[in-house]
Amino acid sequence: MPAAFSQQALDAQAVAERTFICYHMAGGRKDAHPEADVCTSPACCSAYVAQEDAAARWGDKAEEYETKVQQAVRDTDGQIILYDGSPILAAFHSSSAGVTADSGDVWSSSLPYLHSVETPEGEDSVPNYYSVSTFSPEEFREIFLAAHGDADLSGDPAEWFRDRTVNDSGRVERVTIGGVSVEGTEVRRLFSLRSACFTVDTGEEGVAFRVTGFGHGVGMSQYGAELLARQGKTWQEIIHWYYADVTIGAYKE
Ligand SMILES: [Zn+2]
C-alpha cells in the first residue's frame, strides 16, 4: 500500500499484514520453509522492503512516510482479525473492478470471511486502472502451447476464443482457447495480466487483453480502503467492509 495513503487505510493494512503473519504462525508454512513461519518472498508469503530501501524510494517524503507507517503499527498494536477466534487469511490486493472476488472463484476452496463485496475505486482513483496487454499471434501461440500443447491455434486469432464466461464479480471464469477450456485465473497467470477481469480483442495483429484492476481481487482492496478512509471510515470499519463476520482482537496462541 502506498505510504501516501490516509492513516486509517494504512492502519487497516497494518492489521491485515499482522493478521496474515499470525495466520501463518498458527498454521505454519512448514512445507515451504520449515525454519520460519513466514518469509519475505511475495510469491510465497509477503513482500518486504527494508527501511533504508523504502527511504531511498520515498526520497524527501521518507521521514513523513516512516512516521505514518510507525503510527499505523502503534494505532493497531497487537490487534488482528479473527473468525471463530482464529486469525484469518487476511488476503488483500491493489484494486478491483467494482466488486472484490469471492475466494472460491480464485482459490480451490472458499473461505467464509472472503466473499465478494462492493468496493468504491475506479478509473479516477487508481493509476493504470485499465491496462492493455498485447501479444502477436506468434507470441500468443508460444505461451499458450507451452501450457496446452493440444490447443489448435492455427488460422485467424479471431477464431481461437470461444465461450468466455464471467463470474458474479465480473472476472473471467472460463474461456475456451483453441478448443481447450481454461480458467480465467490461469489466463491471467500465463500472460501476466494485471487481473482476471479482462476482455479479449483479436485481429491479424494478434491478441489484446483489456484488463481492469490489479491483483487477485480477494479480501481488502487497498485503493478501496483509501477511498473509504477519505470518506471518514475508521480502520475498523474498513476491515469489516472487506472481511465478513469477523471480529478484531488480540492474538492468543
Ligand atoms: Zn514463505
Q: Residue 28: pLDDT above 80? A: no
Calculate mean pLDDT across residues 140-144.
96
Q: Is residue 240 part of a domain?
A: yes
CA–centroid distance, 97 to ligand 1, in Å, is 28
Domain of residue 170: give its range: 130-212
pLDDT band at 25 (very low <50, low <70, confident <90, very high): confident
Tell me: do 134 and 190 sit in the same domain.
yes
pLDDT at 22: 92
CA–centroid distance, 221 to ligand 1, in Å, is 22
CA–centroid distance, 32 to ligand 1, in Å, is 6
Among all chains, which residue has been given the C-alpha cell 497467470?
189
Q: 218-251 burial, b if ≥16 CB within 10 A, otherwise e?
A: bbbbbbbbbbbbeeebebeebbbbbbeebebeeb
* Cα 24 from chain centre: 18
Tell me: do 47 and 76 sit in the same domain.
yes
Calculate mean pLDDT across residues 8-12.
98
**In this structure, what C-alpha cell is assigned to residue 20?**
496474515
**Nearest Cα residue to 115 out of 247, 243, 17:** 243
Q: Is residue 1 part of a domain?
A: no
Tell me: do 113 and 220 sit in the same domain.
yes
Calculate mean pLDDT across residues 131-159.
94
Tell me: do 91 and 198 sit in the same domain.
no
**Nearest Cα residue to 102 out of 94, 112, 90:** 112
Q: Residue 204: pLDDT above 90? A: no
Tell me: do 163 and 81 sit in the same domain.
no
Calculate mean pLDDT across residues 56-85.
96
Q: Residue 243: pLDDT above 70? A: yes
CA–centroid distance, 46 to ligand 1, in Å, is 7
DSSP sequence for 129-177:
SEEEEEE-HHHHHHHHHHH-TT----S-GGGTEEEEEE-TTSSEEEEEE
CA–centroid distance, 27 to ligand 1, in Å, is 12
CA–centroid distance, 181 to ligand 1, in Å, is 31
CA–centroid distance, 172 to ligand 1, in Å, is 28
> What is the distance between the alpha carbons of residues 86 and 100, in angstroms, rounded to a whole number?
23
* Cα 70 from chain centre: 24
pLDDT band at 30 (very low <50, low <70, confident <90, very high): confident
pLDDT band at 6 (very low <50, low <70, confident <90, very high): very high
Calculate mean pLDDT across residues 153-180.
93
Tell me: do 226 and 204 sit in the same domain.
no
Q: Are 191 and 133 in contact (CB under 8 A)?
A: yes
pLDDT at 210: 96
pLDDT at 253: 65
Number of domains in the chain: 2
Helices (H), the chain: 7-27, 51-58, 62-75, 103-106, 137-147, 184-190, 222-230, 235-242
Tell me: do 112 and 223 sit in the same domain.
yes
Residue 99, helix vs strand vs coil? strand
